[in-house]
Structure 1
Amino acid sequence: MTTTAPVTVPIDTDGTRLSIQLFTVEGSGYGPYVALPRSSVWTPYSAHLFTRATAEMIVRDMERDDCGISATFAEDGTLTFTWTEEHDGDGGTQTVKPDAHGRYEIGGLWSWDEWGDHVPHTAGQAAFAQGATEYRQVDAAASLPLLLDGLYSRGREESHLLTLGLERS
């Protein structure tokens, strides 16, 4: 499957523009993965938009988990997931091409969960998540302990990169 749909900002039924959300693979402490949902209503298997850096993080976590799914990036940026028969009973591949802004639409191969307090996490993950969710607010990196400030700033950067170039409704 190749993803080439145009990117638009999802609008909720009440007219609210959706923004980034944080995800993890259900039942794991991976992430947080900064994502832009493709619609206002999503399921655990829905595809969301991710930056290249976050897509690489997802791939590293999958390899670490030995979940029956592997992934590789081609020179042109195309990301190809391959999974075994043990993963879903069939095995297969899924190809994702980055959009014009370098975002990858990833989903359907495992169950997403919202990343939050119910997910075991480190102080570094929490700082990254805080930065990602506060990307439209005043930068609070200076108020954080050394080392966590950089993770906070990386979270902000991921959210900014993810939302660049989106249609404004």
Structure 2
Amino acid sequence: MNAIPAASAVQLFTPDCTSYGPYVGLPLASFWTPGCRHLFTRKTAQQIVDDLHNDECGLTAEWHGDVLRFTWATEYRDDAGTEDVTPDAHGRYAIGGLWPWDEWGDHSFPSAEQCAYGVGAVECWLPAMPESVPVAMSGAYARGRAEALRLMLRPTES
């Protein structure tokens, strides 16, 4: 279950050289570079914040209501600073430019749960979970699927 099928509208991201994610995102450009911003739901933005705080790299983030504020020290960049990310009209956050993004995949050494979550996200258009996903991973698959549908502003199953 390691292979991720061809990407749908959503893509799976990770900060370069990490095993974090997969973060279900929508690229804001058809051709993106590692420094580009991508759209994420608040739920995924929170996961990014949680993972960022695990790194202790000199970059932190915290919520101020609906605004996500990134703060960095001089050991992270030449000058200390902050950047506020506000949600769009649909509650999605354009995050990027503070670290290089990479496509999430097998090189991230994913767990079975991460794989099931990622497959659920990129296969969100399927009518049902494929038989190739182990029943034990059905919850992760369903969470990935629901996150992708929320991000694309499509109704999710109850």
Distance change >3 Å, CA 49–CA 67, structure 1 → 2: same
Task: For 1:127-138, list aligned pairs within 5 A.
Answer: 127-138=116-127
1:90 matches 2:79: yes
Distance change >3 Å, CA 153–CA 141, structure 1 → 2: farther
For 1:112, the equivalent position in structure 2 comes to 101
Measured against aligned partners, the alpha-carbon deviations of 1:40-65 in whole angstroms (never above 9, x if no partner) come to: 01110100000001000000000001
Q: CA deviation at 1:145?
A: 3.3
For 2:56, the equivalent position in structure 1 comes to 66
Instruction: Report the Cα distance in structure 2 between the residues aligned to 1:67 and 1:112, rounded to whole angstroms.
Output: 16
Residue type at the aligned position of 2:41: T
Instruction: Report the Cα distance in structure 1 between the residues aligned to 2:130 and 2:142, rounded to whole angstroms.
Output: 6
Percent identity among equivalent residues? 50
Instruction: Report the Cα distance in structure 1 between the residues aligned to 2:25 and 2:95, rounded to whole angstroms.
Output: 10
C-alpha contact 1:141 1:153 (8 A) present in aligned 2: no
Specify every segment of 5 or more residues in structure 2 that has no aligned partner in the other structure, as ranges: 1-7
- Structure 1 residue ranges (4+ consecutive) displaced by more than 6 angstroms after TM superposition: none
C-alpha contact 1:141 1:152 (8 A) present in aligned 2: no
Decide which of 113, 127, 141 is 1:152's aligned counterpart: 141
C-alpha contact 1:71 1:82 (8 A) present in aligned 2: yes
Decide which of 14, 21, 30 is 1:40's aligned counterpart: 30
Instruction: Report the Cα distance in structure 1 between the residues aligned to 2:131 and 2:150, rounded to whole angstroms.
Output: 21
Total equivalences in the alignment: 147
CA RMSD of aligned residues (A): 1.5
Instruction: Report the Cα distance in structure 2 between the residues aligned to 1:108 and 1:161, rounded to whole angstroms.
Output: 23
Specify every segment of 5 or more residues in structure 1 that has no aligned partner in the other structure, as ranges: 1-17
Decide which of 95, 100, 105 is 2:89's aligned counterpart: 100
